[in-house]
């Protein structure tokens, strides 16, 4: 049914907005929750299909397991608003920055028009409008749809983890989660994660939807008007927007794949069930990452070299660890960090795991963590039984964990949310109704009732028999998925995490295979006491699984930051876990498209403008992550397919060292496993890259703190920092690692020279990381890119200094007693006299919750003044039980910098040592 205004709508005001009864049994609710965020709800006569949200958590670290009411305003600023009628009777609601107008012409399709206030001109300018020929559809079968007008040249970003280019224009995406092993990173869809969010970016060359000419820019008196030519995103506000659908139902987002001559050009959201609740967020500070919750700050050691591999029913070796030997003809068959079926599936798994640890110590291999694949839990028949230990393979799990802990290596164990039917606890869990329930007909039939009765319920006691668990294929047998909307199931899970893993010395949980690809489309969930169809909450189970693991880990070690990993998830997963892009395929194009996939999951084209945050709002005055999931990475070398050639492996490692999650991880059918020492001839180059990763940890750690505190993604496309440079919006393999580093990885076979565009940055220019030469912005530079080099440049000035750990640091926590700070001064221009290049970072113990807001705050600055450079360092020492071990800061200037240097001693007990023109590690 098309939503039309069948009569003059009845208007009712409420806090922050209004409700309009538009007839036909439909009600439209508009609520201004922030000055730049408005919530829209189109309600049926029966009300909401689901009245709670688990994705919306404005600035919050967590939510109750049962979610929050959809209508809740907790955490929102709820700004003052203006509600008025236009000359034609349309309803207009405004915050002063963002405005929505509802057309009220009787008989016409319901449509909303969005405008933003240009403070420079005082005008309201068009931002987004619904499709005038039909925007809202509510089906008798539960389907809902929303259509908006688009223009040729409009760009779309977001949707979370997606294949293909960063710009989603022309694509259609299936919003559901599957186990997409060996996916094509250019084309496959769907993948592992569920993100019903996108950002629209206007294009300056776009025409009107009909293609008949350039429409006027100002809005008409009715608040609708025709769409103006699209402009580049302006620093002062407007021009870009985000749309977030607060629904977990399977849906599709279409950005021009579908065409219909009767409707002009449009983009659409189509869900198979559920409610039509959505938020419109105004750029340039579209705060989606803030809206869906705070990013968990991980322990610093999790930034060390790590890895994982699901155990598969055939022997696989682990990740090969770099070692000190220069004899490349003898590879070390052990990972620097990781999991491997060669260990956990071996009959003597514990002996092999302990031998591996000893070998790493003997060879001085950097090792921060090791992830146990699920072979440790295999039964005598080889089936994975979560939370069990095969005593034949691992006779002393506590001793194994203690040996790793003594070596400073943390263990994480693979766990899965499905119990196979021969699991020793399956019958008890089924009797307690801890699984997702089968559809009404199946459950009723199992209880002996007629299928038409639909009798399904969750018994309060095991004796109530009218419940039957769903059964699905899971790996190599039938099993049933735990229902995390049942508090009893979550409690069972937390108890098993603690008893089977944490109390034995396992530190982290690897929450895997949690896509909930249940075949029963009418399966039912407990719903915290109110039965709910699985189709309304399918991706919620991955989130609640991670939250249950998170709660278990926090309860076990209340003073420590938990470390969790999850493959599947939805908005809000960043509150609890780290993630990765799943089981990718080994080929050159995966290296490129995985890079873009990760940038799309964690970055945004919308950056902060000068408009201050509203009083009382917890908004960060900073950039925003497009999909809000910053702590991510990829399987370096590819997971499925053939082993990577030597050159591909080196280039993949050189790219991977910049990602928060860095691991080599593979399942190579018909070939040896991918390892750091797969190709002895390039093993030294792989080791160099890994050592560079350890040197970067202070910088990367500071970026993750910014992700938590300021919603700033660590990795982002160049247009994130330089949105006003049109060249940066072109497709590119370059990306920024924080504000300082422009990374130009080589992603093609045989390439030994690399063209890189240097963004315009106000005349500050760029320094070559390796050679130390300065280059102006706005030009394309050709860099040498031999196999042993990562093409890398650093921005001059600003907060663009890079703190590095000691070159010989052997772990992510062993940072030594000094820091080397690479500084990149502004060029010798009178305009930059008195302007500093600065590094600010925090040193803490890296593990304690209490240290999240504490630690020693350090800064180093280099200021150009009167033809010389003035170097200063400072420290702020909080009262804390932890004592910062640093004694020395080595400040290193580029070799090309010739100006004389003066220094100012730092505060407190730090010594300042200046080293001018010396190239640090690497």
pLDDT value of residue 16: 96
- In this prediction, what percent of the chain has a pLDDT beyond 70? 83
Count of C-beta atoms within a 10 Å radius of residue 510: 26
pLDDT value of residue 236: 40
Sheet holding 735-737, edge to edge: 715-716, 735-737, 741-743, 792-795, 766-768, 774-775
Residues 177, 57 share a domain: yes
Residues 629, 527 share a domain: no
Is pLDDT at 917 greater than 80 in this prediction?
no
Residues 783, 729 share a domain: yes
Give the whole-angstrom CA distance, residue 621 versus residue 608. 6
Confidence of residue 220 (pLDDT cuts 50, 70, 90): very low
Query: Is 5 part of any domain?
Result: no
Residues 675, 740 share a domain: no
- DSSP class of 707: H
Residues 334, 278 share a domain: no
- In this prediction, what percent of the chain has a pLDDT beyond 90? 63
Confidence of residue 665 (pLDDT cuts 50, 70, 90): confident
Which is higher by pLDDT, 419 or 204? 419
Give the whole-angstrom CA distance, residue 824 versus residue 793. 10
Residues 888, 823 share a domain: yes
Pick the last residue of a domain from 546, 562, 578.
562
Is pLDDT at 922 greater than 60 in this prediction?
no
Pick the last residue of a domain from 714, 734, 755.
714
Residue 548 near residue 484, CB atoms below 8 Å = yes
Which is higher by pLDDT, 850 or 685? 685
Of 83-92, 156-165, 601-610, 631-640, give the lowest mean pLDDT range: 601-610
Of 148-152, 255-259, 671-675, 896-900, give the lowest mean pLDDT range: 671-675
CATH at residue 744: 2.60.40.1180
| Residues 303-328: tens digit of each pLDDT | 998 744 433 333 222 222 222 332 32
Is pLDDT at 452 greater than 80 in this prediction?
no
Residues 483, 338 share a domain: no
Mean pLDDT over 651-666 rounds to 93
Residues 158, 60 share a domain: yes
| Residues 691-733: tens digit of each pLDDT | 899 999 999 999 999 999 988 899 999 998 998 898 998 899 9
| Strand partners of residue 197 | 244
Query: Is 186 part of any domain?
Result: yes
Mean pLDDT over 790-818 rounds to 80
Residues 702, 638 share a domain: yes
Query: Is 305 part of any domain?
Result: no
Confidence of residue 619 (pLDDT cuts 50, 70, 90): very low
Residues 732, 708 share a domain: no
Query: Is 301 part of any domain?
Result: no
| Residues 100-132: tens digit of each pLDDT | 999 988 889 999 999 999 999 999 999 999 999
pLDDT value of residue 852: 62
CATH at residue 509: 3.20.20.80
Number of domains, the chain: 4
Is pLDDT at 617 greater than 50 in this prediction?
no
Query: Is 382 part of any domain?
Result: no
Give the whole-angstrom CA distance, residue 702 versus residue 802. 10
Confidence of residue 338 (pLDDT cuts 50, 70, 90): very low
pLDDT value of residue 912: 56
Say whether pTM exceeds 0.75. yes
pLDDT value of residue 425: 98
Q: Which residue has the tokens 């670290």?
A: 61
pLDDT value of residue 664: 83
Picking from 323, 342, 340, 341, the residue whose alpha carbon sits closest to that of residue 332 is 323
Pick the last residue of a domain from 232, 266, 283.
283
Picking from 737, 738, 741, 721, the residue whose alpha carbon sits closest to that of residue 729 is 721
Average pLDDT, the chain: 85
Mean pLDDT over 542-561 rounds to 98
Is pLDDT at 211 greater than 90 in this prediction?
no
Residues of the domain holding 359:
310-373+566-611+620-714
Mean pLDDT over 772-789 rounds to 97
Query: Is 726 part of any domain?
Result: yes
Confidence of residue 903 (pLDDT cuts 50, 70, 90): confident
Query: Is 324 part of any domain?
Result: yes
Mean pLDDT over 601-606 rounds to 62
Confidence of residue 527 (pLDDT cuts 50, 70, 90): very high
| Strand partners of residue 4 | 109
Confidence of residue 38 (pLDDT cuts 50, 70, 90): very high
Residues 121, 28 share a domain: yes
137: helix, coil or strand?
A: strand
**β 633-636/578-579 pair status:** unpaired
Query: Is 405 part of any domain?
Result: no
Question: Which letter, b or e, does each residue of 157-168 get, where b requires 16 or more Cβ atoms within 10 Å of its Cβ?
Answer: bbbbbbbbbbbb
SS3 content of the chain, % helix, strand, coil (to 5): 20, 25, 55
pLDDT value of residue 875: 83
Confidence of residue 350 (pLDDT cuts 50, 70, 90): very high
Is pLDDT at 565 greater than 70 in this prediction?
yes
pLDDT value of residue 553: 99
Of 55-69, 230-244, 407-421, 557-571, give the lowest mean pLDDT range: 230-244
- Written as six digits, the tokens of 733 are 């393999």
Residues 573, 551 share a domain: no
86: helix, coil or strand?
A: coil
Contacts of 39 (CB under 8 A, 6+ apart): 17, 29, 30, 31, 32, 33, 277, 278, 279
């Amino acid at each position: 049914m098309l939503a039309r205004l069948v009569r003059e709508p009845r208007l009712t005001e409420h806090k922050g907005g209004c409700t309009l009864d538009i007839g036909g049994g439909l009600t439209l609710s508009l609520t201004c929750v922030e000055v730049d965020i408005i919530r829209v709800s189109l309600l049926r006569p029966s009300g909401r299909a689901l009245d709670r949200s688990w994705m919306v958590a404005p600035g919050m670290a967590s939510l109750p397991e049962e979610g929050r009411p959809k209508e809740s305003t907790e955490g929102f600023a709820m700004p003052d608003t203006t509600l008025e009628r236009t000359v034609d009777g349309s309803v207009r609601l405004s915050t002063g920055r963002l405005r929505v107008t509802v057309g009220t012409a009787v008989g016409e399709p319901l449509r909303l028009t969005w405008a933003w206030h240009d403070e420079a001109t005082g005008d309201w300018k068009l931002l987004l409008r619904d499709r005038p020929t039909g925007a809202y559809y509510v089906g008798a079968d539960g389907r809902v749809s929303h259509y908006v007008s688009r223009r040729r040249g409009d760009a779309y970003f977001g949707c979370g983890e997606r294949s293909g280019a960063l710009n989603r224009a022309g694509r259609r995406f299936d919003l559901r989660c599957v186990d997409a092993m060996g996916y094509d990173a250019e084309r496959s869809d769907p993948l592992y994660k569920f993100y019903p969010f996108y950002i629209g970016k206007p294009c300056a060359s776009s025409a009107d939807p009909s293609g008949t000419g350039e429409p006027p820019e100002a809005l008409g008196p009715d608040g609708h008007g025709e769409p103006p030519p699209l402009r580049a995103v302006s620093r002062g506000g407007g021009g870009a927007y985000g749309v977030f659908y607060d629904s977990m139902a399977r849906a599709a987002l279409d950005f021009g794949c579908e065409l219909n001559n009767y409707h002009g050009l449009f983009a659409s959201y189509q869900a198979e069930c559920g409610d039509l609740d959505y938020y419109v967020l105004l750029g340039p500070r579209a705060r989606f990452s803030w809206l869906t919750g705070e990013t968990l700050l991980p322990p610093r050691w999790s930034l060390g070299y790590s890895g994982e591999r699901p155990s598969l029913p055939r022997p696989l070796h682990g990740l090969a660890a770099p070692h000190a030997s220069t004899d490349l003809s003898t590879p070390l068959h052990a990972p620097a960090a990781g999991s491997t079926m060669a260990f956990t599936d071996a009959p003597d798994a514990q002996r092999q795991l302990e031998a591996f640890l000893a070998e790493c110590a003997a060879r001085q291999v950097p090792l921060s963590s090791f992830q146990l694949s699920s072979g440790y839990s295999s039964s005598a028949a080889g089936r994975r039984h979560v939370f069990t230990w095969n005593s034949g393979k691992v006779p002393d799990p506590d001793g194994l964990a203690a040996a790793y802990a003594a070596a400073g290596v943390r263990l994480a164990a693979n766990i899965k949310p499905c119990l196979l039917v021969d699991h020793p606890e399956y019958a008890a869990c089924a009797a307690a109704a801890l699984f997702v329930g089968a559809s009404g007909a199946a459950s009723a039939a199992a209880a002996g009732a007629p299928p038409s009765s639909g009798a399904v319920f969750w018994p309060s006691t095991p004796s109530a028999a009218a419940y039957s668990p769903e059964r699905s294929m899971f790996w190599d047998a039938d099993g049933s998925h735990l229902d995390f909307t049942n508090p009893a199931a979550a409690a069972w899970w937390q108890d098993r995490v603690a008893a089977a893993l944490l109390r034995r010395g396992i530190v982290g949980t690897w929450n895997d295979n949690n896509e909930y690809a249940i075949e029963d489309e009418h399966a039912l969930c407990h719903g915290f006491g109110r039965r709910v169809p699985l189709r309304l909450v399918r991706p919620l189970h991955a989130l609640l699984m991670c939250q249950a693991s998170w709660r278990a880990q926090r309860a076990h070690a209340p003073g420590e930051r938990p470390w969790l990993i999850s493959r599947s998830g939805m908005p809000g997963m960043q509150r609890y876990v780290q993630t990765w892009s799943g089981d990718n395929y080994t080929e050159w194009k995966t290296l490129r498209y995985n890079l873009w996939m990760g940038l799309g999951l964690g970055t945004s084209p919308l950056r902060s403008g000068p408009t201050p945050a509203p009083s009382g709002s917890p908004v960060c005055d900073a950039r925003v992550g497009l999909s809000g999931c910053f702590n991510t990475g990829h399987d370096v070398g590819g997971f499925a397919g053939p082993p990577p050639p030597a050159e591909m492996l080196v280039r993949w490692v050189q790219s991977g060292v910049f990602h928060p999650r860095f691991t080599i991880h593979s399942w190579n059918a018909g070939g040896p496993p991918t390892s750091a020492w797969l190709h002895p001839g390039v093993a030294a180059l792989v080791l160099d890259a890994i050592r560079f990763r350890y040197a970067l940890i202070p910088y990367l750690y500071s970026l993750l703190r910014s992700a938590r505190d300021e919603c700033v993604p660590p990795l982002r496309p160049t247009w994130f920092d330089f949105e006003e440079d049109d060249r940066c919006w072109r497709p590119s393999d370059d990306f920024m690692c924080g504000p300082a580093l422009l990374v130009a990885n080589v992603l093609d076979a045989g390439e030994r020279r690399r063209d890189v565009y240097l963004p315009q940055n106000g005349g500050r220019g760029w320094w070559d990381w390796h050679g130390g030469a300065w280059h102006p912005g706005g030009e394309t530079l050709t860099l040498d890119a031999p196999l042993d080099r990562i093409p890398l440049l650093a921005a001059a000035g600003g907060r663009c200094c890079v703190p590095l750990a000691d070159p010989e640091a052997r772990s992510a926590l062993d940072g030594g007693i000094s820091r080397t700070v690479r500084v990149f001064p502004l060029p010798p221009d009178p305009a930059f006299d008195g302007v500093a290049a600065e590094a600010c970072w925090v040193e803490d113990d890296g593990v304690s919750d209490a240290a999240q807001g504490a630690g020693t705050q350090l800064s180093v600055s280099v200021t150009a003044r009167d033809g010389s450079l003035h170097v200063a360092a400072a420290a702020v020492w909080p009262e804390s039980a932890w004592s910062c071990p640093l004694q020395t800061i080595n400040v290193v200037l580029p070799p090309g910098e010739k100006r004389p240097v003066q220094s100012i001693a730092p505060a407190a007990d730090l010594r300042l040592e200046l080293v001018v023109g010396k190239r640090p590690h690497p």
